Every structure is written in C-alpha cells, then in structure tokens.
Chains A and B, each alone.
Chain A
Amino acid sequence: DAGVIQSPRHEVTEMGQEVTLRCKPISGHNSLFWYRQTMMRGLELLIYFNNNVPIDDSGMPEDRFSAKMPNASFSTLKIQPSEPRDSAVYFCASSLGFSGNTIYFGEGSWLTVV
C-alpha cells in the first residue's frame, strides 16, 4: 500500500500568492483529514471529510483557507492569499470508516511563506 500521498513536500512562496496542497488518501479509505502543525499550536485539525463530504470545517482559520474533495481519491487545501503566519507543516490523513478507526498520516507538506 502506497500510504497517504501529499504534494508538494516542500514549498516556499511569497506573501499574497495562492498555495494549493494536494492529497491522495489510501485507497478504500473514506475519511480524509487535513491537519496543520506549528511549534506554537501543535497539531490542529483544519477540516475533515467523510465520503467526500465536508463534515467539520470549524478548524479552518479564515476564509483564505478552502478545501475540496472532488472524488474519493483526491483532495486539495488552498490558501489564497497566503501570509507568513500560514507557514507550517500541513498533514493529510485518511482512515477507513469514521469514529475511532486508526488514522494514517501522509509525510506532510512543508510550507514557508516569505
């Protein structure tokens, strides 16, 4: 199994630019999660989907952030416009089923906004 695949692994962008992070969950998994990790705030859940439908987006910090899951094998997290405080590692994760099942993480997208 290829695991959760994220791209890009690293991105450096200028303030104001649009950033799109991509995720391919583990095949057969029907729940997908986007987390953000920073030194100050630790791991925070941004949004999660079940069967391609957003279930809870209360963790999305601002309207600048948006996430989509057009099909079971692909999701995007977009930041527009990006700001330096968005610099973080963004993890995508997936699981089979819903509450209580093991969540598997991707290797993360390291974003730096200058």
Chain B
Amino acid sequence: AQSVSQHNHHVILSEAASLELGCNYSYGGTVNLFWYVQYPGQHLQLLLKYFSGDPLVKGIKGFEAEFIKSKFSFNLRKPSVQWSDTAEYFCAVNPSGGSQGNLIFGKGTKLSVKP
C-alpha cells in the first residue's frame, strides 16, 4: 500500500537555526510530491510542489525541498527559521498519470520555533 513517512513527530528549534524535515514515500511509480503547512487553528496551505524537472524545488517563505528518486525522499529545508514558522508540516504524495486524484499524507511534523 502507498504510504508517506515523516520521521519526526515534533521538532523544536531556536530562531535562526536551520531546518530539515524528512519525508519518505513507498509508491514505486512516478509521483507528484507536495509539502503543506498548517498554522495553528488554520487550514492546510501549499508550501511547494514537485511534478518534474529540477529536483530542487523552491517554495514560499524561503522553504525548499529536494526530490531524491533513488531514496524515495522529498525532504523539506529552510536555512534559517523564524518564530512565525511554528506550524505543522505535512508531506503528501499523489501518483501522477494514474486514476487517483487524491493526496496521501504523512502524519505530519510539528515545528516549534523558540524566539
């Protein structure tokens, strides 16, 4: 079965620290990959997405993610976090070209940034 694994349940960082959140997926075919962010009490918002091309994808708010096909990974990074980045981050996979239109989400990683 397709699944998405996010390695860290809760990450606590100080402002200006660098961030890397891990994401691995189990689907063997071609995939589209997403990172969504959910700020406290709000809905999910798209951070960035990868469909094809350059495996290093840049998103909003200084976030980027790298698709490594051989490792089935799509890790999220930010060089210097801010207090306002405190949120929950979800990695998601969608099998492209297939009959499915849904996203399969990981369990999420809560990020707490200390001022």
Q: Does A56 contact B (CB under 8 A)?
A: yes
Q: 1/0 per residue A16-33: CB within 8 Å of B? A: 000000000000000101
Q: Of the candidates B45, B96, B106, which one forms a contact with A100 in the assembled complex, judged by CB atoms under 8 Å apart? A: B96
Q: Does B99 contact A (CB under 8 A)?
A: yes
B43 and A105 contacting across the interface, CB-CB below 8 Å? yes
**Bound state CA distance, A84 and B92, in angstroms?**
28
Q: Does A99 contact B (CB under 8 A)?
A: yes
Instruction: Kindly list chain A residues whose C-beta atoms are within 8 Å of the C-beta of B32.
Output: 99-100
B43 and A45 contacting across the interface, CB-CB below 8 Å? no
**Bound state CA distance, A43 and B102, in angstroms?**
12
Given A99-B95, A99-B96, A100-B96, CB of A56 within 8 Å of CB of B42? no
B108 and A98 contacting across the interface, CB-CB below 8 Å? no
Scan residues 99-114 of chain B and give those whose CB is less than 8 A from a CB of chain A. 99-108
Closest to A46 in B: B102
How many whole Å from A67's CB to the nearest CB in chain B?
A: 14
**Bound state CA distance, A31 and B101, in angstroms?**
8
Instruction: Kindly list chain B residues whose C-beta atoms are within 8 Å of the C-beta of A31.
Output: 101
The chain B residues found within 8 Å of chain A, CB to CB, are 32, 34, 36, 42-46, 49, 51, 90, 94-108
* 13 intermolecular pairs with C-beta atoms under 8 Å apart: A42-B105, A45-B102, A48-B102, A95-B101, A99-B96, A99-B99, A100-B32, A100-B96, A101-B101, A102-B34, A105-B43, A105-B44, A105-B45
The chain A residues found within 8 Å of chain B, CB to CB, are 31, 33, 42-43, 45, 48, 50, 55-56, 91, 93, 95, 98-108
